[in-house]
A = this chain, B = another copy of it.
């Protein structure tokens, strides 16, 4: 059985493109529709109520485009809105928290660090999910509000990124053995983060894990597109398509976005 309907992927902005890229690499036959809510970005400093409201809008918009599944490619929206969105929709809704947690509990020797936006850390979503699987694990959560602007500015290497990463993470050196990069922007800061925490730290990027989960879910439901074909990619944002394309292609590292469409949702 095959299902050629697209998969919807949404994020508050363009950070979720790292997740789209991972899904595209693992399942190139799937058509992906990306929705970046750039008119309301960021979600990471906002309340649960507001993030839930925006997330519902995004799912509604993608469902009207006929998607067979929605991937929440945003840690903040996954942390605050996943249970509600799953309960309210009949199609599968997949967040990014679960994948990161799975990888972290497999890797850890006992102490897991979680870094994310203020909202993600305040939600407690990661620590709850980790404790549910490994009750004996210690979890240290740190909000790093400057990381997203740093990546958006393209300052992912050099003295300033090093100093900012150290300001948040220096004190945890030697304390955590595994670190979950709990925001889709953070994989672009892997290098200064690894330098701050030392070479033995395991860095968990949930994009790859989420892509695996998408594939697994499609297989289970018999809802994959035809293997060997090549699905299309379509990019939509709620504001500033030109800027989104410019920053987005930097995040996609080589993958072209083609025309980025402006939509009003």
Contact = CB atoms under 8 A, between A and B. Distances in A.
Contacts of A145: 149, 152-153
Q: For chain A, which range describes its interface: under 10, 10 to 19, 20 to 34, or 35 or more residues?
A: 20 to 34
Interface string A46-80: 11011000000000000000000000000000000
A159 B159 CA distance: 11
Interface string A28-56: 00000000001111000111011000000
Interface string A69-93: 0000000000000000000000000
A143 B153 CA distance: 11
A158 to B, nearest CB: 9
Nearest to A160: B163
Given A159-B163, A160-B164, A47 B239 contact: yes
Nearest to A40: B40
Contacts of A238: 50
A46 B243 CA distance: 9
A129 interface: no
Shortest 6 CB-CB contacts between residues of A and residues of B: A149-B149, A50-B239, A47-B240, A39-B50, A46-B239, A160-B163
A167 interface: yes
A146 interface: yes
A184 to B, nearest CB: 17
Given A46-B39, A46-B239, A50-B239, A153 B160 contact: no
Contacts of A163: 159-160, 163
Contacts of A45: 41, 152, 240, 243
Contacts of A243: 45, 118
A145 B243 CA distance: 13
A257 interface: no
A182 B47 CA distance: 28
Interface in A127-172: 145-146, 148-150, 152-153, 155, 159-160, 163-164, 167
